Amino acid sequence: MPYGFQKLRAQSGMTLIELLVAMAISGLILGAIFTLFQTHQRMAIRQSQAALMQQELLSAISLISDELRMCGFSAHAAPGFGFSHRPGTGAPDYGRTTTRSSVYCTQDMNADGVVNESDSGSLREHSGFRLNVANDGAAKPEPDNVLRKYDTGTVRWQPVNTNIGDLSFTYFNERGDIIEDSQPDTQSIRGVLVRITAIPSPSHAGMGIGNSTMSAMVWCRNTDMDKTP
């Protein structure tokens, strides 16, 4: 075999040092790619969670505002409709309360002059919202962060929004003054400031995603009607 060819074969291939250097560089590149992928994945999750939280807030604020705006409505000015406070658990009250953390009012949507507790159309006559509440109206021992609406069916408190960390109501009279204790003075309520805070889902609670809060002022257009028995 010619000497030049033998020398060429001896110089072909990679040394151990060159192989180790190549592996180290490859490891650095792969590590950088993986870190970049994780960063983009966390950003995508944060953006997705932020969008979901905004959707929950908009949905909850819109639902509560629309229903509170009709509190006390009666086509024939029948008495007995509006805000009320019924804190008893189980039948007949089911914890329908008007406090700093809950609200309940009625409206005569079928124009029969009666707050219907059953039969067709009765659900539309009740607007009650609470957070972390059991079906019988009692507060849940462990918060589930679910916003529920009062229902006249078998399940009295139906879930409407999830991942809600806080729900608060501030009540105002006809002069625009804050009603400090709404429970004994529900008939004086003319406006409600609704404030809702959405939180990340439990599976993403450790990702540094901040809470999101939204508020809305609702003036109840029907509670100041001149109603006579």
* Euclidean distance between CA atoms 191 and 193, whole angstroms: 7
**Confidence (pLDDT) at 171:** 97
Of residues 122 and 119, more confidently modeled: 122
DSSP character string of 105-117: EE-BTTSSSS--S
Q: Is the Cβ–Cβ distance between 136 and 155 less than 8 Å? A: no
Model confidence pLDDT, tens digit, residues 135-183:
999 999 999 999 999 999 889 999 999 999 999 999 999 999 999 998 8
Q: pLDDT at residue 3 above 70? A: no
Query: 10: buried, middle or exposed (CB in 10 Å: 19+, 13-18, 0-12)?
Result: exposed
Q: Which amino acid is at 180?
A: E
Q: pLDDT at residue 18 above 80? A: no
Least confident piece of the model among 14-28, 37-51, 137-151, 184-198: 37-51
The residue ranges of every structural domain in the chain are 40-219
* Euclidean distance between CA atoms 180 and 100, whole angstroms: 9
What radius of gyration do the chain's Cα atoms show? Answer: 31
* Euclidean distance between CA atoms 93 and 167, whole angstroms: 21
User: Containing H/E element for 24?
Assistant: helix 16-69
Q: Which amino acid is at 25?
A: I
Please list the residues that pair with 126 across neighbouring strands.
106
Q: Is the Cβ–Cβ distance between 132 and 145 less than 8 Å? A: yes
**Confidence (pLDDT) at 10:** 52
Least confident piece of the model among 6-15, 25-34, 112-121: 6-15
In this structure, how many other beta carbons lie within 10 angstroms of the beta carbon of residue 52?
Answer: 17
Predicted model pTM:
0.79
**Confidence (pLDDT) at 128:** 96
Q: Which amino acid is at 100?
A: R
In this structure, how many other beta carbons lie within 10 angstroms of the beta carbon of residue 148?
Answer: 23
Of residues 12 and 184, more confidently modeled: 184
What percent of the chain clears pLDDT 70, i.e. is strictly above it?
87
Model confidence pLDDT, tens digit, residues 48-90:
778 888 899 999 999 999 999 999 998 888 888 999 999 999 9
Q: Is the Cβ–Cβ distance between 172 and 193 less than 8 Å? A: yes
DSSP label at residue 89: S
> Per mean pLDDT, which of 44-53, 98-107, 218-227 is the most reliable?
98-107
Nearest to 189 by CA among 174, 167, 203: 174
Please give the average per-residue pLDDT across 114-119, as a whole number. 85
Q: 3-class SS at 130?
A: strand
Of residues 2 and 53, more confidently modeled: 53
User: SS3 for 151-200, per residue?
Assistant: CCCCCCEEEEECCEEEEEEEEECCCCCECCCCHHHHHHCCEEEEEEEECC
